[in-house]
Amino acid sequence: MKKLFESEVFRYLLIGGSNTAICWVLSFLLPYAGIGYWSISAVTMVFGAVYTYLLNRRFTFKREDLAHKKAVPKFILNISVCYVLSYVLLKPRLDQITPPSFVSGETWTSLMLIFSNVIYIILNFVGQKFFAFGEKKS
């Protein structure tokens, strides 16, 4: 059990899950403050990026030694590439798949979005581990 809690994958998923939960809460509460859809989207996107950058740098990949001016541009490039690969390029391919007759269009769209999210999560982990935060040089 101790190995599980110490693994990078577990910490990455824990931080990502907490990020998602916080962003959902913000998305629910901010409209009551009179904030509109696009502003909420921007706030949660920026919050999520900063939150995951800081926590993954420190706790998941343990790279506090890595300068922000070196890591931040790589982190931004990584999440941008992951987004393009998992949503922009993958979506047309997924749209070509005909859903089974027993699955509604809305459910199919949700399933394809979940699939894209899984691809994003995997690509983002690999990109952060090997590109944005890289391996420590011994």
- Say if residue 46 is in the same domain as residue 92: no
Higher pLDDT pick, 75 / 98: 75
Q: What is the pLDDT of residue 89?
A: 81
Q: What is the pLDDT of residue 137?
A: 60
Q: pLDDT per residue over 38-75, tens digit each? A: 899 899 999 999 999 999 999 999 999 999 999 999 99
Q: What is the pLDDT of residue 138?
A: 56
- Say if residue 70 is in the same domain as residue 108: yes
- Say if residue 74 is in the same domain as residue 131: yes
Q: What is the pLDDT of residue 135?
A: 72
Q: What is the pLDDT of residue 71?
A: 96
pTM: 0.84
- Say if residue 21 is in the same domain as residue 72: no
The number of distinct structural domains making up the chain is: 2
Q: What is the pLDDT of residue 72?
A: 97
- Say if residue 55 is in the same domain as residue 79: no
At which of 60, 79, 96 does a domain end? Answer: 60
CA separation for the pair 87, 96 (Å, rounded): 14
- Say if residue 70 is in the same domain as residue 137: yes
CA separation for the pair 38, 106 (Å, rounded): 23
- Say if residue 136 is in the same domain as residue 111: yes
Task: Quote the Cα angle for 88-117-10, to 5°.
Answer: 140
Q: What is the span of the domain harbouring residue 21? A: 1-60
Lowest mean per-residue pLDDT among 26-40, 46-60, 94-108 = 94-108
- Say if residue 80 is in the same domain as residue 129: yes
Report whether pLDDT(30) > 80. yes
With CA atoms as reference, report the closest residue to 11 among 84, 72, 78, 61.
61
- Say if residue 125 is in the same domain as residue 108: yes
- Say if residue 70 is in the same domain as residue 118: yes
